[in-house]
Amino acid sequence: MEFTSLYRRYRPRCFADMKGQDHVVAALQNAIRQNRVFHAYLLSGPRGTGKTTAARILAKALNCELIQDGEPCCECESCLSIDKGSSFDLHELDAASNNKVDDIRDLLSKVALGTPGRTKVYLLDEVHMLTSGAENALLKTLEEPPDHVIFVMATTEPHKVVETIRSRSQHLELNLLPTEQLRELLEEISKDAGLEVGDEGLNQAIREAKGSARDALSALDKIVAGGSSFLENSVDELLDGIATRDSKKTLKAINAAIATGKEPRLIGENLLSSLREAFLSSMGVPLEGLTEEEKAKTKNFTDQVTPALITRSLEILGLSLIDMRRSPDPRVDLEVALVKIASSQPPSDSSAIDLLESRVALLEETIKDLKLTKSVKDEIQVSSPSVEESSKETSDAKSAQIDTGNKENDKSKSSEDLSKIDSEIKDFPTKEQFLDSWVEELLPKLSKKARARFSAGRPVSVDGNGVMIALPNEPHLRRCSELLGEVEASIKNTFGVAVPVLLSVDGSSSSISPPKPAKPSKPVKNDEDLDLSGLVEADPNSGSAVERLSQAFPGAEIVESE
């Protein structure tokens, strides 16, 4: 007995057999029931979703001798001949290989000819492959075909079909099947065909199918034959190498898989699929179509790595898969990608947050020290006269004693604060210390942005008010003022004392130099100030100005204004 592949053996024969395409089935069945079948249909969708199958079922329903409620009987002579591919009522043309003008003209020359059935159906597969001339040749007949002719066009890339064809046809889109429907389909077919396939095999077929019913049945055929291409052990080793940052382990896993005859691109694609599942799991998306064991492996991997690493791994591996198409040795691209993923990893989100928190804490501590210094000075000025006044005021003996004790404590506290301020002022670094440590110690502790801006500055004075840094010009001063906190934090880390930083231009004390006074303009002499004694009276015989111009330019013609 001749063997028939599962996807051919279990191809749907009627609309009820089609899985996951209820919207397409409803549109075609209703059109048949109501006798409102359109003259041209455009069926689009990914591979293996049932475009050609739907066109054949439509042809069967339009010519079935015992049609019932829009469904073909699949038993009459017309239905059987279409199933066998010997019917004159269904003409299939592969537009990918018959895409020239002459091919379409030959097809159109036979359109008007009659057939045994009621309706002649033309199925043009991969219609987007037609040349521009072939599309133009098809347009007129497609718009107004004979009454007994219907065109059904199928394509995986509807955006490549010209608008003039799409506007002349009714567009129906077929979808990929969800995981649960694929599982039901495979379980049903496995039971009917007597195949012994466990959950692991079904999961493998569903994983390879990626929503395509035909690919799922092809994968099931391969699994039953013992030709599984899913590299579960190799992928587990690769994921473990990524999680443990072990480049050597990943390279060993790749070499072991390639030694068994696996293609590098297939290894990369399977690893990419596992990384995608890990990414979805880390984002809290429920995983469907996986066994409990596979879910446990995915969770174990996500517990060891960060979402940032998974995202980076997806990016690096995706780019390497693109490079493999033109690479003389795809294995090298895969190995380099895995080494990058396992070794050069970006800083985690937590470390970046910790760094920011430490910087903010440092700035807050510096600001707190500055406020404390100012508040102590103010407290001393306010508390000193109160001590003198309170010493003169007495009430009874007990209250005076308590009051005196409190004031003595305040006085000692003020003295301690004064000594603290004096010690802090004494701890202020000198100008020479600043100059010595400015380039070698202070600037290197700044960020790249702050270092670039303050490298043009120089300390010019250091006193109790702080350190004055001179900058070349006012625009530079304004840019540096945005990053004063970093410089103050660097000074505190270096000298152990909070020192305010003041900015100036060219050593001046103000941050913005005062505008230069404008030079007074020279006074304009009025007519009254002119000396008339130097003027010479004009010669009355010299003629007018026009006459003198005529003399200066012989041959010139004087034109009177209108």
Q: Which tens digit of pLDDT belongs to each residue from 64-81?
A: 988 888 899 999 999 999
Report the range of poorest mean pLDDT among 8-22, 310-324, 517-531: 517-531
pLDDT of 298: 87
For the record, the structure tokens of 505 come out as 């231009």
| Confidence grade of residue 537 (pLDDT, cut at 50, 70, 90) | low
514 has a pLDDT exceeding 60:
no
308 contacts: CB under 8 Å, gap ≥ 6 = 346, 348, 349
Report the range of poorest mean pLDDT among 210-214, 349-353, 420-424: 420-424
pLDDT of 515: 39
Closest CA to 289 of 393, 191, 210: 210
| Confidence grade of residue 347 (pLDDT, cut at 50, 70, 90) | very low
2 has a pLDDT exceeding 70:
no
Task: List the chain domain ranges.
Answer: 6-175, 180-224, 232-343, 350-426, 431-505
pLDDT of 31: 93
pLDDT tens digit string along 452-492? 888 888 888 887 778 888 888 888 888 888 888 888 888 88
| Confidence grade of residue 55 (pLDDT, cut at 50, 70, 90) | very high
pLDDT of 231: 52
> What are the E-state strand segments in 160-234?
170-173
| Confidence grade of residue 401 (pLDDT, cut at 50, 70, 90) | very low
pLDDT of 502: 87
pLDDT of 175: 92
Confirm if 164 and 32 have CB atoms less than 8 A apart.
no
351 has a pLDDT exceeding 70:
no
pLDDT of 90: 92
pLDDT of 459: 85
Task: Please check whether the two domains, 232-343 and 431-505, share a CATH topology.
Answer: no
| Confidence grade of residue 399 (pLDDT, cut at 50, 70, 90) | very low
228 has a pLDDT exceeding 80:
no
What is the average per-residue pLDDT within 268-285? 88
The Cα 168–Cα 142 span in angstroms is: 7
Q: What is the pTM of this model?
A: 0.55
CA distance readout (Å), 66 to 17, 35, 56, 282, 343: 18, 16, 17, 55, 68
Residue 202: how many CB atoms within 10 A of its CB?
21
286/301: higher pLDDT: 301
Superfamily designation of domain 431-505: DnaA, N-terminal domain (3.30.300.180)
Closest CA to 179 of 204, 161, 196: 204
Is CATH 1.20.272.10 the classification given to domain 232-343? Answer: yes
Confirm if 61 and 72 have CB atoms less than 8 A apart.
yes
Closest CA to 542 of 554, 533, 551: 551
Report the range of poorest mean pLDDT among 362-376, 413-427, 473-487: 413-427
Pairing of strands 458-463, 466-471: antiparallel
540/35: higher pLDDT: 35
160 has a pLDDT exceeding 50:
yes
CA 380 from chain center: how many Å?
A: 59
Is CATH 3.40.50.300 the classification given to domain 6-175? Answer: yes
